[in-house]
Amino acid sequence: MKERLVSLCFAILAAVIAYALLSRPTPAPDKQLSLPTTEDTGAAGLKGVYLWLQQSNIPVTRLRTRFSDLESSDKLPATGNILLSVLPAKVTVLDKEWDGLYEWVRRGNTLIAAGNVYQYPAWNAEDDCYCALKKFISRFGWQLDKKDLDHTEEEQNDKPDSLKEEINQLQARMSEHIPKDIELHASLTHPLTSGIGQIKVKAVNYLQYEYWTLSTDNEHNFSLQLLHHAHLGTPMAWLLSAGKGQIIILLHADMLGNAQLDKGENARFISNLINQGLAAGSQLLIDDYHFGLSDLYDPQRFFKDSRLHWTLAWILFIWLCYVIGYSLRLAPAREKTAPVSARDTINMMTHFLARHLNKTQLRDELIRHFCEDIMRQRHFTQEQQVWTWLAAHNRIHPAELDFLHTARQNKRISLLRLTRTITHIRTLVL
Protein backbone atom coordinates (compact mmCIF):
# COMPACT_ATOMS: atom_id res chain seq x y z
CA MET A 1 0.00 0.00 0.00
CA LYS A 2 2.86 2.37 0.82
CA GLU A 3 4.49 1.77 -2.57
CA ARG A 4 1.22 2.52 -4.38
CA LEU A 5 0.77 5.74 -2.40
CA VAL A 6 4.30 6.85 -3.31
CA SER A 7 3.60 6.03 -6.97
CA LEU A 8 0.42 8.12 -6.87
CA CYS A 9 2.27 11.12 -5.39
CA PHE A 10 5.00 10.99 -8.04
CA ALA A 11 2.40 10.58 -10.79
CA ILE A 12 0.55 13.70 -9.61
CA LEU A 13 3.85 15.61 -9.45
CA ALA A 14 4.71 14.54 -13.01
CA ALA A 15 1.27 15.65 -14.20
CA VAL A 16 1.73 19.10 -12.61
CA ILE A 17 5.14 19.49 -14.26
CA ALA A 18 3.72 18.47 -17.66
CA TYR A 19 0.87 20.97 -17.28
CA ALA A 20 3.33 23.75 -16.40
CA LEU A 21 5.42 22.96 -19.48
CA LEU A 22 2.44 22.76 -21.87
CA SER A 23 0.42 25.68 -20.53
CA ARG A 24 0.38 28.92 -22.49
CA PRO A 25 2.78 31.45 -20.95
CA THR A 26 1.17 34.56 -19.47
CA PRO A 27 2.21 37.69 -21.38
CA ALA A 28 4.19 40.28 -19.51
CA PRO A 29 1.92 42.99 -18.05
CA ASP A 30 4.24 45.80 -19.15
CA LYS A 31 4.75 45.53 -22.87
CA GLN A 32 7.47 47.93 -23.94
CA LEU A 33 7.02 47.70 -27.73
CA SER A 34 3.66 48.90 -28.98
CA LEU A 35 2.54 47.46 -32.34
CA PRO A 36 -0.40 48.54 -34.54
CA THR A 37 -2.58 45.47 -33.85
CA THR A 38 -6.16 45.13 -32.65
CA GLU A 39 -4.99 43.64 -29.34
CA ASP A 40 -2.35 46.22 -28.46
CA THR A 41 -3.32 48.81 -25.87
CA GLY A 42 -0.17 50.92 -26.30
CA ALA A 43 0.21 54.22 -28.07
CA ALA A 44 0.57 52.67 -31.55
CA GLY A 45 -2.04 49.96 -30.98
CA LEU A 46 -5.30 49.71 -32.90
CA LYS A 47 -7.41 48.21 -30.14
CA GLY A 48 -9.20 51.51 -29.59
CA VAL A 49 -10.29 51.89 -33.20
CA TYR A 50 -11.25 48.20 -33.36
CA LEU A 51 -13.49 48.34 -30.27
CA TRP A 52 -14.97 51.68 -31.36
CA LEU A 53 -15.94 50.34 -34.78
CA GLN A 54 -17.21 47.11 -33.27
CA GLN A 55 -19.45 48.98 -30.83
CA SER A 56 -20.65 51.15 -33.72
CA ASN A 57 -21.97 47.98 -35.43
CA ILE A 58 -19.37 48.19 -38.19
CA PRO A 59 -18.58 44.67 -39.50
CA VAL A 60 -14.89 44.74 -38.55
CA THR A 61 -12.68 41.63 -38.69
CA ARG A 62 -9.10 40.89 -37.67
CA LEU A 63 -7.12 39.76 -40.70
CA ARG A 64 -4.65 37.13 -39.52
CA THR A 65 -3.87 35.44 -42.81
CA ARG A 66 -1.78 36.45 -45.81
CA PHE A 67 -2.97 39.01 -48.32
CA SER A 68 -2.95 36.29 -50.97
CA ASP A 69 -5.81 34.53 -49.14
CA LEU A 70 -8.21 37.46 -49.68
CA GLU A 71 -8.84 36.70 -53.33
CA SER A 72 -9.90 33.10 -52.69
CA SER A 73 -11.72 33.65 -49.40
CA ASP A 74 -15.32 32.40 -49.37
CA LYS A 75 -16.12 34.32 -46.14
CA LEU A 76 -15.97 37.74 -47.82
CA PRO A 77 -18.10 39.33 -50.53
CA ALA A 78 -16.33 39.71 -53.84
CA THR A 79 -16.34 43.53 -53.73
CA GLY A 80 -16.97 46.45 -51.38
CA ASN A 81 -14.56 45.42 -48.63
CA ILE A 82 -11.89 47.59 -46.97
CA LEU A 83 -8.43 46.46 -45.85
CA LEU A 84 -6.62 48.67 -43.32
CA SER A 85 -2.88 48.00 -43.27
CA VAL A 86 -0.11 49.89 -41.47
CA LEU A 87 3.29 50.25 -43.12
CA PRO A 88 6.08 49.39 -42.77
CA ALA A 89 5.12 45.91 -41.65
CA LYS A 90 7.03 44.02 -38.98
CA VAL A 91 6.64 40.75 -40.93
CA THR A 92 7.82 41.06 -44.53
CA VAL A 93 5.02 41.09 -47.11
CA LEU A 94 5.88 38.49 -49.74
CA ASP A 95 5.67 39.15 -53.47
CA LYS A 96 2.97 36.51 -53.73
CA GLU A 97 0.89 38.47 -51.23
CA TRP A 98 1.21 41.69 -53.23
CA ASP A 99 0.06 39.76 -56.31
CA GLY A 100 -3.05 38.53 -54.51
CA LEU A 101 -3.75 41.96 -53.04
CA TYR A 102 -3.49 43.52 -56.51
CA GLU A 103 -6.19 41.24 -57.89
CA TRP A 104 -8.35 41.80 -54.80
CA VAL A 105 -8.22 45.61 -55.06
CA ARG A 106 -8.59 45.66 -58.85
CA ARG A 107 -11.75 43.58 -58.49
CA GLY A 108 -13.53 46.34 -56.57
CA ASN A 109 -12.20 46.61 -52.99
CA THR A 110 -10.45 49.37 -51.03
CA LEU A 111 -6.97 49.40 -49.50
CA ILE A 112 -6.15 51.96 -46.79
CA ALA A 113 -2.37 52.06 -46.56
CA ALA A 114 -1.34 54.04 -43.47
CA GLY A 115 2.37 54.80 -43.39
CA ASN A 116 4.79 56.01 -40.72
CA VAL A 117 6.90 58.09 -43.07
CA TYR A 118 7.26 61.05 -40.70
CA GLN A 119 8.33 59.01 -37.71
CA TYR A 120 10.67 56.15 -36.96
CA PRO A 121 8.41 53.30 -35.80
CA ALA A 122 9.82 51.24 -32.94
CA TRP A 123 9.45 47.96 -34.84
CA ASN A 124 11.42 49.29 -37.81
CA ALA A 125 13.99 51.87 -36.76
CA GLU A 126 15.55 52.14 -40.21
CA ASP A 127 14.44 54.74 -42.71
CA ASP A 128 11.59 53.17 -44.69
CA CYS A 129 11.54 54.22 -48.33
CA TYR A 130 7.94 53.09 -48.87
CA CYS A 131 9.38 50.92 -51.65
CA ALA A 132 6.85 48.09 -51.28
CA LEU A 133 3.84 50.41 -51.59
CA LYS A 134 5.41 52.38 -54.46
CA LYS A 135 6.00 49.14 -56.35
CA PHE A 136 2.44 48.03 -55.63
CA ILE A 137 0.64 51.18 -56.85
CA SER A 138 2.88 51.30 -59.91
CA ARG A 139 0.90 48.29 -61.18
CA PHE A 140 -2.08 50.63 -61.46
CA GLY A 141 0.00 53.30 -63.22
CA TRP A 142 0.77 55.50 -60.20
CA GLN A 143 4.15 56.92 -59.19
CA LEU A 144 4.83 57.96 -55.61
CA ASP A 145 8.03 59.99 -55.16
CA LYS A 146 9.75 61.71 -52.26
CA LYS A 147 11.29 65.16 -52.60
CA ASP A 148 12.95 67.69 -50.30
CA LEU A 149 11.18 70.93 -49.54
CA ASP A 150 13.28 74.08 -50.02
CA HIS A 151 13.93 75.68 -46.66
CA THR A 152 16.75 77.60 -45.01
CA GLU A 153 18.38 76.78 -41.73
CA GLU A 154 20.97 78.63 -39.76
CA GLU A 155 24.31 77.00 -40.25
CA GLN A 156 26.36 76.55 -37.16
CA ASN A 157 29.83 75.81 -38.45
CA ASP A 158 31.63 77.77 -35.77
CA LYS A 159 32.84 75.85 -32.80
CA PRO A 160 31.02 76.67 -29.57
CA ASP A 161 32.83 79.06 -27.30
CA SER A 162 31.83 77.29 -24.12
CA LEU A 163 30.60 73.94 -22.85
CA LYS A 164 27.15 75.39 -22.24
CA GLU A 165 26.80 76.41 -25.91
CA GLU A 166 27.93 72.96 -27.01
CA ILE A 167 25.33 71.33 -24.77
CA ASN A 168 22.64 73.65 -26.14
CA GLN A 169 23.56 72.69 -29.71
CA LEU A 170 23.41 68.97 -28.86
CA GLN A 171 20.02 69.40 -27.22
CA ALA A 172 18.74 71.27 -30.25
CA ARG A 173 19.88 68.46 -32.55
CA MET A 174 18.31 65.84 -30.32
CA SER A 175 15.01 67.71 -30.25
CA GLU A 176 14.91 67.42 -34.05
CA HIS A 177 14.46 63.63 -33.63
CA ILE A 178 11.64 63.84 -31.07
CA PRO A 179 8.12 63.61 -32.59
CA LYS A 180 6.11 66.77 -32.07
CA ASP A 181 2.43 67.57 -32.51
CA ILE A 182 1.36 68.93 -35.90
CA GLU A 183 -1.98 69.63 -37.55
CA LEU A 184 -3.43 68.42 -40.83
CA HIS A 185 -6.27 70.17 -42.65
CA ALA A 186 -8.69 69.04 -45.33
CA SER A 187 -7.56 69.87 -48.86
CA LEU A 188 -11.01 69.92 -50.48
CA THR A 189 -14.71 69.70 -49.81
CA HIS A 190 -15.64 66.08 -50.19
CA PRO A 191 -17.70 63.45 -48.28
CA LEU A 192 -14.39 61.94 -47.12
CA THR A 193 -13.40 65.25 -45.49
CA SER A 194 -16.84 66.29 -44.28
CA GLY A 195 -16.68 67.87 -40.82
CA ILE A 196 -12.86 67.82 -40.75
CA GLY A 197 -11.40 70.89 -39.08
CA GLN A 198 -8.00 69.66 -37.97
CA ILE A 199 -6.38 66.29 -37.49
CA LYS A 200 -3.76 65.83 -34.77
CA VAL A 201 -0.68 63.72 -35.52
CA LYS A 202 3.00 63.62 -34.56
CA ALA A 203 6.05 64.02 -36.77
CA VAL A 204 9.80 64.28 -36.45
CA ASN A 205 10.68 67.90 -37.16
CA TYR A 206 13.32 67.53 -39.87
CA LEU A 207 11.32 64.79 -41.67
CA GLN A 208 8.50 67.26 -42.35
CA TYR A 209 10.62 68.85 -45.07
CA GLU A 210 10.51 65.59 -47.04
CA TYR A 211 7.26 65.68 -48.97
CA TRP A 212 5.67 63.15 -51.31
CA THR A 213 4.17 63.65 -54.75
CA LEU A 214 1.73 61.45 -56.64
CA SER A 215 1.60 61.28 -60.44
CA THR A 216 0.31 59.00 -63.20
CA ASP A 217 0.80 58.33 -66.89
CA ASN A 218 -2.60 56.72 -67.31
CA GLU A 219 -5.25 59.16 -68.48
CA HIS A 220 -7.99 56.98 -67.00
CA ASN A 221 -6.61 57.27 -63.47
CA PHE A 222 -7.91 59.94 -61.10
CA SER A 223 -6.88 60.99 -57.61
CA LEU A 224 -7.93 63.38 -54.84
CA GLN A 225 -5.66 65.03 -52.29
CA LEU A 226 -7.53 64.68 -49.01
CA LEU A 227 -5.23 66.23 -46.39
CA HIS A 228 -2.29 68.62 -46.27
CA HIS A 229 0.13 70.00 -43.67
CA ALA A 230 -1.41 73.00 -41.93
CA HIS A 231 1.73 75.18 -42.24
CA LEU A 232 3.86 73.70 -45.00
CA GLY A 233 0.97 72.81 -47.31
CA THR A 234 2.54 69.46 -48.28
CA PRO A 235 0.10 66.62 -49.15
CA MET A 236 -0.57 64.05 -46.42
CA ALA A 237 -3.33 61.80 -47.81
CA TRP A 238 -4.69 60.78 -51.23
CA LEU A 239 -7.56 58.86 -52.71
CA LEU A 240 -6.60 57.19 -55.99
CA SER A 241 -8.35 54.86 -58.38
CA ALA A 242 -7.14 51.27 -58.81
CA GLY A 243 -9.10 49.35 -61.43
CA LYS A 244 -12.61 48.89 -60.07
CA GLY A 245 -11.33 49.53 -56.56
CA GLN A 246 -9.49 52.35 -54.84
CA ILE A 247 -6.48 53.01 -52.63
CA ILE A 248 -6.27 55.53 -49.80
CA ILE A 249 -2.75 56.52 -48.80
CA LEU A 250 -2.21 58.07 -45.36
CA LEU A 251 1.28 59.32 -44.56
CA HIS A 252 0.50 59.46 -40.82
CA ALA A 253 -0.52 56.09 -39.40
CA ASP A 254 -0.56 57.40 -35.82
CA MET A 255 -3.94 59.08 -36.45
CA LEU A 256 -5.34 55.54 -36.09
CA GLY A 257 -3.44 54.70 -32.90
CA ASN A 258 -4.80 54.60 -29.39
CA ALA A 259 -2.88 57.72 -28.35
CA GLN A 260 -4.19 59.98 -31.17
CA LEU A 261 -7.61 58.52 -31.96
CA ASP A 262 -9.50 60.95 -29.71
CA LYS A 263 -7.50 64.01 -30.78
CA GLY A 264 -9.01 66.60 -33.12
CA GLU A 265 -11.26 65.11 -35.80
CA ASN A 266 -9.19 61.93 -36.23
CA ALA A 267 -12.09 59.61 -35.41
CA ARG A 268 -14.45 61.52 -37.72
CA PHE A 269 -12.01 61.25 -40.63
CA ILE A 270 -11.67 57.49 -40.12
CA SER A 271 -15.43 57.20 -39.92
CA ASN A 272 -15.76 59.05 -43.25
CA LEU A 273 -13.25 56.73 -44.93
CA ILE A 274 -15.13 53.66 -43.78
CA ASN A 275 -18.65 54.92 -44.48
CA GLN A 276 -17.75 55.99 -48.02
CA GLY A 277 -15.75 52.88 -48.94
CA LEU A 278 -17.60 50.03 -47.22
CA ALA A 279 -20.47 48.48 -49.13
CA ALA A 280 -23.51 46.88 -47.52
CA GLY A 281 -22.79 43.35 -46.32
CA SER A 282 -19.03 43.78 -46.75
CA GLN A 283 -16.26 43.63 -44.17
CA LEU A 284 -13.64 46.00 -42.78
CA LEU A 285 -10.39 44.07 -42.33
CA ILE A 286 -7.57 45.23 -40.03
CA ASP A 287 -4.22 43.63 -40.77
CA ASP A 288 -2.79 41.82 -37.73
CA TYR A 289 -0.90 39.12 -39.58
CA HIS A 290 2.09 41.25 -40.56
CA PHE A 291 2.64 42.24 -36.94
CA GLY A 292 2.88 38.73 -35.52
CA LEU A 293 -0.77 37.71 -34.92
CA SER A 294 -1.66 34.80 -37.17
CA ASP A 295 -4.50 32.29 -37.48
CA LEU A 296 -2.02 29.80 -38.88
CA TYR A 297 -1.22 29.07 -35.24
CA ASP A 298 -3.38 30.72 -32.60
CA PRO A 299 -2.15 29.64 -29.14
CA GLN A 300 -5.16 31.14 -27.40
CA ARG A 301 -7.61 29.20 -29.57
CA PHE A 302 -5.53 26.03 -29.28
CA PHE A 303 -5.46 26.03 -25.48
CA LYS A 304 -9.16 26.92 -25.26
CA ASP A 305 -10.20 24.01 -27.47
CA SER A 306 -12.26 21.53 -25.41
CA ARG A 307 -10.96 18.63 -27.51
CA LEU A 308 -7.45 19.27 -26.17
CA HIS A 309 -8.73 19.30 -22.58
CA TRP A 310 -10.64 16.01 -22.97
CA THR A 311 -7.69 14.35 -24.69
CA LEU A 312 -5.27 15.36 -21.94
CA ALA A 313 -7.76 14.32 -19.27
CA TRP A 314 -8.18 10.82 -20.74
CA ILE A 315 -4.43 10.39 -21.18
CA LEU A 316 -3.85 11.43 -17.56
CA PHE A 317 -6.61 9.12 -16.29
CA ILE A 318 -5.31 6.07 -18.17
CA TRP A 319 -1.76 6.84 -17.11
CA LEU A 320 -2.74 7.11 -13.43
CA CYS A 321 -4.57 3.77 -13.65
CA TYR A 322 -1.48 2.18 -15.12
CA VAL A 323 0.86 3.69 -12.53
CA ILE A 324 -1.31 2.70 -9.57
CA GLY A 325 -2.48 -0.67 -10.87
CA TYR A 326 0.67 -2.04 -12.41
CA SER A 327 4.17 -0.77 -12.93
CA LEU A 328 7.59 -2.24 -13.41
CA ARG A 329 8.58 -1.13 -9.95
CA LEU A 330 5.68 -2.98 -8.32
CA ALA A 331 5.86 -6.04 -10.55
CA PRO A 332 7.53 -9.23 -9.22
CA ALA A 333 11.20 -9.57 -10.04
CA ARG A 334 11.98 -11.94 -12.88
CA GLU A 335 15.12 -13.92 -12.16
CA LYS A 336 17.28 -15.13 -14.96
CA THR A 337 17.08 -18.92 -15.41
CA ALA A 338 20.46 -20.48 -14.67
CA PRO A 339 21.70 -23.56 -16.61
CA VAL A 340 21.10 -26.91 -14.87
CA SER A 341 24.29 -28.45 -13.38
CA ALA A 342 25.09 -31.99 -12.16
CA ARG A 343 24.65 -30.87 -8.58
CA ASP A 344 21.18 -29.53 -9.38
CA THR A 345 20.29 -32.90 -10.88
CA ILE A 346 21.48 -34.75 -7.74
CA ASN A 347 19.56 -32.39 -5.46
CA MET A 348 16.47 -32.81 -7.57
CA MET A 349 16.73 -36.61 -7.41
CA THR A 350 17.37 -36.44 -3.66
CA HIS A 351 14.21 -34.43 -3.10
CA PHE A 352 12.30 -36.77 -5.35
CA LEU A 353 13.43 -39.85 -3.42
CA ALA A 354 12.93 -38.13 -0.08
CA ARG A 355 9.28 -37.64 -0.92
CA HIS A 356 8.88 -41.40 -1.60
CA LEU A 357 10.87 -42.92 1.35
CA ASN A 358 9.77 -43.00 4.99
CA LYS A 359 12.03 -42.27 7.96
CA THR A 360 12.69 -45.93 8.76
CA GLN A 361 13.91 -46.69 5.27
CA LEU A 362 16.10 -43.61 5.23
CA ARG A 363 17.63 -44.56 8.62
CA ASP A 364 18.41 -48.09 7.51
CA GLU A 365 19.89 -46.98 4.20
CA LEU A 366 22.13 -44.39 5.83
CA ILE A 367 23.55 -46.95 8.29
CA ARG A 368 23.92 -49.61 5.59
CA HIS A 369 25.84 -47.30 3.23
CA PHE A 370 28.01 -46.18 6.15
CA CYS A 371 28.93 -49.77 7.04
CA GLU A 372 29.57 -50.72 3.39
CA ASP A 373 31.98 -47.83 2.93
CA ILE A 374 34.02 -48.90 6.00
CA MET A 375 34.00 -52.55 4.91
CA ARG A 376 35.27 -51.58 1.50
CA GLN A 377 37.92 -49.28 2.96
CA ARG A 378 39.16 -51.74 5.66
CA HIS A 379 38.56 -54.93 3.62
CA PHE A 380 36.16 -56.41 6.12
CA THR A 381 33.83 -59.26 5.13
CA GLN A 382 31.16 -58.93 7.81
CA GLU A 383 29.26 -56.01 9.30
CA GLN A 384 30.08 -57.13 12.84
CA GLN A 385 33.76 -56.52 12.13
CA VAL A 386 32.85 -52.87 11.38
CA TRP A 387 31.22 -52.34 14.74
CA THR A 388 34.05 -54.10 16.60
CA TRP A 389 36.61 -51.90 14.84
CA LEU A 390 34.64 -48.74 15.59
CA ALA A 391 34.38 -49.68 19.28
CA ALA A 392 38.14 -50.06 19.45
CA HIS A 393 38.84 -46.76 17.66
CA ASN A 394 40.23 -44.23 20.15
CA ARG A 395 38.92 -41.10 18.28
CA ILE A 396 35.26 -42.12 18.30
CA HIS A 397 33.25 -41.14 21.35
CA PRO A 398 31.24 -44.00 22.94
CA ALA A 399 28.11 -41.83 22.94
CA GLU A 400 28.18 -41.69 19.15
CA LEU A 401 28.37 -45.49 18.89
CA ASP A 402 25.54 -45.79 21.42
CA PHE A 403 23.44 -43.50 19.25
CA LEU A 404 24.16 -45.61 16.13
CA HIS A 405 23.23 -48.82 18.00
CA THR A 406 20.02 -47.20 19.14
CA ALA A 407 19.23 -46.31 15.50
CA ARG A 408 19.85 -49.96 14.45
CA GLN A 409 17.25 -51.11 16.96
CA ASN A 410 14.46 -49.33 15.06
CA LYS A 411 13.88 -46.72 17.70
CA ARG A 412 12.64 -43.25 16.85
CA ILE A 413 15.56 -40.91 16.41
CA SER A 414 16.32 -37.65 14.69
CA LEU A 415 17.38 -38.18 11.08
CA LEU A 416 19.26 -34.89 11.16
CA ARG A 417 21.31 -36.03 14.21
CA LEU A 418 21.92 -39.38 12.59
CA THR A 419 23.22 -37.69 9.42
CA ARG A 420 25.53 -35.41 11.38
CA THR A 421 26.86 -38.34 13.48
CA ILE A 422 27.64 -40.47 10.44
CA THR A 423 29.30 -37.49 8.71
CA HIS A 424 31.47 -36.81 11.76
CA ILE A 425 32.62 -40.43 12.04
CA ARG A 426 33.40 -40.50 8.33
CA THR A 427 35.72 -37.56 8.72
CA LEU A 428 37.54 -39.37 11.51
CA VAL A 429 37.99 -42.85 10.08
CA LEU A 430 37.78 -42.56 6.30
pLDDT at 30: 46
Mean pLDDT of 95-106: 93
Give me the pLDDT at residue 129, please: 62
What pLDDT shows up at residue 128?
56
Distances (CA, A) of 336 to 236, 286, 418: 87, 70, 37
CA pair distance 203, 224, nearest whole angstrom: 23
State the pLDDT at residue 154.
47
Mean pLDDT in residue range 202-230: 88
Residue 402, pLDDT > 60, answer yes
Q: What is the pLDDT of residues 270-288, one digit of tens each?
A: 999 999 889 989 999 999 9
Residue 58 has pLDDT above 70, yes or no: yes
Region 401-420: what's the mean pLDDT? 85
* pLDDT at position 62: 93
- pLDDT band of 158, cuts 50, 70, 90: low
Q: Between the CA of residue 88 and those of 33, 83, 234, what are the distances in Å?
A: 15, 15, 21
Q: Which domains can be identified in the chain, with CATH numbers?
A: 9-20+33-149+169-296 (3.40.50), 343-429 (no CATH)
Position 297 confidence tier, pLDDT thresholds 50, 70, 90:
low
pLDDT given at position 6: 72
Check residue 309 and give its pLDDT: 84
Q: Of 118, 10, 48, 414, which is closest to residue 266 (Cα–Cα)?
A: 48
Tell me: pLDDT of 171 over 70.
no
- Determine if the pTM surpasses 0.95: no
How many C-beta atoms lie closer than 10 Å to residue 211's C-beta? Answer: 21
| Separation between Cα atoms, residue 287 and residue 295, nearest integer Å | 12
Taking residue 160's Cβ as centre, other Cβ atoms within 10 Å add up to 13
pLDDT tens, 216-227? 988 889 999 999
SS3 199: strand
pLDDT average, residue stretch 364-368:
87
- Give the model's pLDDT for residue 151: 55
Residue 292: left (phi > 0), alpha (psi -120 to 50), or beta? left
Length of the chain: 430
